[in-house]
Structures are given as structure tokens and as C-alpha cells.
Amino acid sequence: MLNFHKDHRNLVNVSLLVFVLLSMGVAIMPADGMQHTDPLPGMPEMTPAERRGLAVYVSENCGACHTQQVRNIEMDKTWGARPSVPSDYHYSKPRMDVWRQSPSLLGSERTGPDLTNVGQRQPGEQWHLLHLYDPRMVVKGSIMPRYGWLFEETAHPAKDAVIVPVPKERLRDTAHVVVAKQEALDLVAYLIALKQAPLPDGTPTPGFLPSPGRKADGAVALSEGALPDGAEIFKGTCQACHQADAQGLAGAFPPLAGSSIVNDADPTLMISIVLGGYDARAEYGVMPPQAEQLTDAQIAAVVSFVRGNFGNEAAAVSEDDVRTLRASVAPQTMLVP
């Protein structure tokens, strides 16, 4: 029988053994298992630009305010279509070297929104560049700091420079333009790549549990033929670019208030733009398609809301209008010319 009161050598040896066993079970084995997690079949491998962007994301400590984990509780439905699984982090967890594990990106603080699926929610490059240059240009009231050192103002941009559509009144010198440095472009490439991949066929999709303190999802059942709340859809999907008053942002995003497309008696073009995106006007950024993000009912609701508000006086549209147009346009040609 061991007598730790008198045999200090055994006390140290046993303590060391317990420490090693606990370290193996709590840290080393789980970490090793994570290294061998396979990526999901629909998850594309990160490009060199995205990997550089990941390094910028870590170096700028974006994880201090943004998480990348969709928890399995109802309130996290905002951030992803399903709770996160270990395979979601396959390509974002490369070891820095043999001695150092790369920093965890899951995060624990949501001062800003979760970024797990931000590439689906906000796929436009111009929006992200403007947001990094000055967050309050696109999200009024944002407390995110400016990342001005990722850009430069110059009167003589290179031919291949990516110019950020910053309004002239926001510049120190109106003869200058804002050019995104390579670090900004890489970071945006990484952010746009953050999309939840679908689970393999036959794999049960993890469900969301009721949030703490709530008994069940409090969603109100819609009566037959009723549309969702278009104002809420506008706030969550459109407002970031077109602004809360639908006045847009000069040089970046067009206004919806008073728009001839919005007020057209025939809503076909407007519905097509929402479904397939729009990139026909050089003075504005690209409108990303919403065909995969929004249902026919949601598109009908938000189109009707915009056509009947902000001074617009066009007629509402129906879910059948959207369904008919979606069926008539092939996904690969959805982008409006």
C-alpha cells in the first residue's frame, strides 16, 4: 500500500501518471481526432487566397467578436440552416507547424454576428469591402472598428486595382479613390467562402432544441395563402445594402425608393433580379441572387413590401408569380443581363 505521507517519490510518480492520463483523454486524443475529421463531400477545398484570408482573420483577431459555431438551439437558426458539426472545420484547422495548433475559430463572444454562413447571407464582395473600410457606411449604429489599414487612398490606382465604391463625401480628398490592399481582398475571399456545406445524403440533419427558457418555437402559423412578414425579410436580407430607408448608398447600392423597376406595373424584372441577381450597371455593386436563400413565398412577401412602401405605389405580387418565373429560368442563367 502506498503511503504518500512518507513516500514522496511515489506521490510525484502517481501525480505525474494521473496528469498524463488526463491530458491524453481531455486534450491530446480529442485534438488528434479533430485532425483526422473528413471534410463534407460538398465542402470545396480552400483556395490560396482564402487561406491567406484565414491568416488575416486570425491576425486581426476577428474571433474576439465573431463566432463560427451554430449551436443546436433555436435562437441560432439565424446563423445557419443546421447546427455545426466537426467536419465543418476541416479546412480551417491546419496546424501552424508541428509544435503549434492553429487558433480556434469557434469563438465564444458574439459582439458581432456569427460568421458560419456569412458567405450565403452576404455574398457580395463590394459590401464586405465597404464594411471593412467603414462599417457604419452599410450598418448604421455598428460598433465594429474600421480596418482602414487594409486600404489606401490614391489618385493613381493601378490598372488591376480593386476600387472600393466609397462615396466622395467620405474621402479626405475627393480626387482620390479607395483601393483594397491584397490583405483586404484575401480576407473578403475567406469571408465569402464561409458557407455551410450540405450533409451527405442519408445523414440525419441535426435539429435545433428550444432556446433556454423557451418551451418551443414561437413562430405563428400562417393562414392558407398568407405571406410571411415582408418587412422582416427586408430587414434581414436587403437592408444591409439598400439601407433601412431604401435610399441605397451612392456609388455602391441603388435606391429602391422611387425606382422605376420597383414601380413597374409588370413585376417580372424585379422578381427576376431578386431570384437571379443583377450586374448590369457599372456604377453599382453586384446584386447577389436570392433564389437559394429565399422561398417563393418569402420573395413574394419582400417584393410586395418594397413595392408598397418607401413612397412606392406598385401592386403586390403573389407566390404563384414568383413560382412561375423561377420555373421558367434555368439556375445557371439566372443572372439578369
Q: Residue 161's domain is classified under what CATH number?
A: 1.10.760.10
Residues 188 and 66 occupy one common structural domain: yes
Does residue 325 lie within any of the structural domains? yes
Q: Give the chain's domain count.
A: 2
Mean of pLDDT values over 94-107:
75
In a domain, 174, yes or no: yes
Instruction: Output the CA torsion sign for 9, 12, 18, 20.
Output: negative
Same domain, 62 and 165: yes
Reply yes or no on whether the pLDDT at 91 is more than 70: yes
Q: Which domain holds residue 173?
A: 41-207
71 falls in which pLDDT band (50, 70, 90)?
A: very high
Q: Is residue 163 part of a domain?
A: yes
Q: How far apart are CA 197 and CA 39, in angstroms?
A: 9
Greater pLDDT, 31 or 48: 48
Q: What angle do CA 109, 149, 55 make, to 5 degrees?
A: 55
In angstroms, the CA 14 to CA 19 distance is 9
- Is the pLDDT at 188 greater than 90, yes or no? yes
| Percent of the chain clearing pLDDT 70 (strictly above) | 89
Please check whether residues 76 and 201 belong to one and the same domain.
Answer: yes
Please give the backbone phi and psi of residue 123, each rounded to the nearest 5 degrees, phi first.
Answer: -85, 0
Average pLDDT score over residue span 130-155: 93
Q: Is a pLDDT exceeding 80 seen at residue 269?
A: yes
Model's pTM, two decimal places? 0.77
Give helix 268-276 / helix 319-328 axis angle, nearest 10°. Answer: 60
Same domain membership, residue 52 and residue 189: yes
pLDDT value for 221: 52
Tell me: do 106 and 179 sit in the same domain. yes
The answer as to whether 27 is a domain residue is no
Residues 46 and 193 in one domain: yes
Residue 23 predicted with pLDDT over 60 = yes
Residue finishing a domain among 207, 240, 255: 207
Residue at which a domain ends, from 173, 207, 241: 207
Q: Is 261 contained in some domain?
A: yes
Residue whose C-alpha cell is 405580387: 317
Kindly state whether residues 95 and 197 are assigned to the same domain: yes
Residue 32 maps to a domain: no
Q: Please determine, for residue 207, whether its predicted confidence score (pLDDT) is greater than 80.
A: yes
- Kindly state the percentage of the chain with pLDDT values over 90: 49
| Same structural domain, 66 and 145 | yes
Mean pLDDT across the chain: 85
Inform me whether the pLDDT recorded for 114 exceeds 90. Answer: yes
> According to the model, what pLDDT value does residue 332 have?
41
Taking alpha carbons only, the member of 133, 127, 140, 139 closest to residue 170 is: 133
In this prediction, residue 337 carries a pLDDT of: 39
Residues 89 and 202 in one domain: yes
Check whether residue 279 and residue 130 sit in a common domain. no
Calpha distance 270→312 (Å, rounded): 13
On whether residue 33 sits in a domain, the answer given is no
Distance CA 275, CA 290 (A): 5
For 9-18, what is the mean pLDDT? 89
Task: Name the β-bridge partners of 253.
Answer: 249
Flag whether 286 is in a domain. Answer: yes
CA distance 23 to 117: 33
Do 172 and 271 share a structural domain?
no
Instruction: Please tell me the predicted confidence (pLDDT) of residue 170.
Output: 82
**Cα distance between residue 85 and residue 64, in whole Å:** 21
Average pLDDT over residues 164-193: 91
Residues 184 and 259 placed together within one structural domain of the fold: no
